[in-house]
Amino acid sequence: MKAIFIIFNQASYEMIISIMEREQIHGFTHWDNVAGKGSRTGEPHLGSHAWPTMNGAIMTMVEDTKVERFLKLLHKFDMQSEEQGLRAFVLNVEQQI
Protein backbone atom coordinates (compact mmCIF):
# COMPACT_ATOMS: atom_id res chain seq x y z
CA MET A 1 0.00 0.00 0.00
CA LYS A 2 1.23 3.49 -0.88
CA ALA A 3 0.08 6.94 0.16
CA ILE A 4 -0.04 9.39 -2.72
CA PHE A 5 0.00 13.08 -1.80
CA ILE A 6 -1.13 15.29 -4.69
CA ILE A 7 -0.83 19.10 -4.72
CA PHE A 8 -2.58 20.95 -7.54
CA ASN A 9 -4.19 24.19 -8.66
CA GLN A 10 -7.76 24.26 -7.30
CA ALA A 11 -9.09 24.37 -10.86
CA SER A 12 -7.84 20.79 -11.37
CA TYR A 13 -9.86 19.20 -8.56
CA GLU A 14 -12.69 17.76 -10.69
CA MET A 15 -10.30 16.23 -13.23
CA ILE A 16 -8.19 14.57 -10.53
CA ILE A 17 -11.33 13.13 -8.91
CA SER A 18 -12.45 11.89 -12.33
CA ILE A 19 -9.12 10.12 -12.87
CA MET A 20 -9.37 8.56 -9.41
CA GLU A 21 -12.91 7.31 -10.09
CA ARG A 22 -11.92 5.79 -13.46
CA GLU A 23 -9.02 4.00 -11.75
CA GLN A 24 -11.26 2.84 -8.88
CA ILE A 25 -9.33 4.78 -6.27
CA HIS A 26 -12.08 5.61 -3.82
CA GLY A 27 -10.86 6.81 -0.44
CA PHE A 28 -9.13 10.15 -0.05
CA THR A 29 -8.73 13.23 2.11
CA HIS A 30 -8.96 16.65 0.45
CA TRP A 31 -7.62 19.97 1.70
CA ASP A 32 -8.91 23.12 0.02
CA ASN A 33 -7.31 26.58 0.00
CA VAL A 34 -3.75 25.36 0.37
CA ALA A 35 -1.12 28.05 -0.19
CA GLY A 36 2.28 27.28 -1.60
CA LYS A 37 5.01 27.72 -4.15
CA GLY A 38 6.63 24.97 -6.17
CA SER A 39 10.33 24.29 -5.89
CA ARG A 40 10.93 23.93 -9.64
CA THR A 41 8.76 26.16 -11.77
CA GLY A 42 5.47 27.94 -11.78
CA GLU A 43 3.91 30.84 -10.00
CA PRO A 44 3.13 30.93 -6.29
CA HIS A 45 -0.44 30.13 -5.25
CA LEU A 46 -0.79 32.22 -2.11
CA GLY A 47 -4.30 33.65 -2.15
CA SER A 48 -2.89 37.17 -1.97
CA HIS A 49 -3.51 40.25 -4.07
CA ALA A 50 -0.31 39.63 -6.02
CA TRP A 51 -0.74 35.83 -6.26
CA PRO A 52 -4.51 35.21 -5.99
CA THR A 53 -4.79 31.54 -6.97
CA MET A 54 -4.78 28.74 -4.41
CA ASN A 55 -3.93 25.06 -4.40
CA GLY A 56 -5.74 21.99 -3.21
CA ALA A 57 -4.26 18.78 -1.88
CA ILE A 58 -5.44 15.18 -1.86
CA MET A 59 -4.00 12.22 0.00
CA THR A 60 -5.14 8.79 -1.04
CA MET A 61 -4.06 5.25 -0.18
CA VAL A 62 -3.45 3.16 -3.28
CA GLU A 63 -2.71 -0.52 -3.81
CA ASP A 64 0.85 -1.03 -5.07
CA THR A 65 -0.42 -2.46 -8.38
CA LYS A 66 -2.30 0.78 -9.19
CA VAL A 67 0.40 3.33 -8.34
CA GLU A 68 2.38 3.45 -11.58
CA ARG A 69 -0.67 3.78 -13.85
CA PHE A 70 -2.23 6.43 -11.60
CA LEU A 71 0.99 8.48 -11.62
CA LYS A 72 1.21 8.23 -15.41
CA LEU A 73 -2.36 9.51 -15.76
CA LEU A 74 -1.68 12.39 -13.37
CA HIS A 75 1.50 13.24 -15.29
CA LYS A 76 -0.38 13.15 -18.62
CA PHE A 77 -2.98 15.54 -17.19
CA ASP A 78 -0.24 17.82 -15.81
CA MET A 79 1.46 17.99 -19.22
CA GLN A 80 -1.79 19.28 -20.76
CA SER A 81 -1.68 22.35 -18.53
CA GLU A 82 1.78 22.61 -16.98
CA GLU A 83 1.24 26.22 -15.96
CA GLN A 84 -1.48 25.07 -13.52
CA GLY A 85 1.03 22.96 -11.59
CA LEU A 86 0.55 19.46 -10.22
CA ARG A 87 2.91 17.38 -8.09
CA ALA A 88 2.41 13.90 -6.69
CA PHE A 89 4.54 12.22 -4.03
CA VAL A 90 4.46 8.53 -3.17
CA LEU A 91 5.04 7.44 0.43
CA ASN A 92 5.25 3.96 1.90
CA VAL A 93 2.42 2.99 4.25
CA GLU A 94 3.98 1.04 7.08
CA GLN A 95 0.79 0.11 8.95
CA GLN A 96 -2.92 0.67 8.92
CA ILE A 97 -5.65 -0.03 11.47
Q: Check which CATH number belongs to the domain holding 69 and give it.
A: 3.30.70.120
Distance separating alpha carbons of residues 86 and 2, to the nearest angstrom: 19
Which range (7-11, 31-35, 79-83, 85-89) has the least confidence?
Answer: 79-83
* Domain total in the chain: 1
Residue 71 lies inside a defined structural domain of this protein:
yes
Residue 33 lies inside a defined structural domain of this protein:
no
Task: Please give the model's pTM, rounded to 2 decimal places.
Answer: 0.90
Most confident listed range (22-26, 46-50, 77-81): 22-26
Residue 31 lies inside a defined structural domain of this protein:
no
Measuring CA to CA, which residue among 87, 95, 96 is closest to residue 42? Answer: 87
Range of the domain at 94: 1-26+54-97
Residue 48 lies inside a defined structural domain of this protein:
no
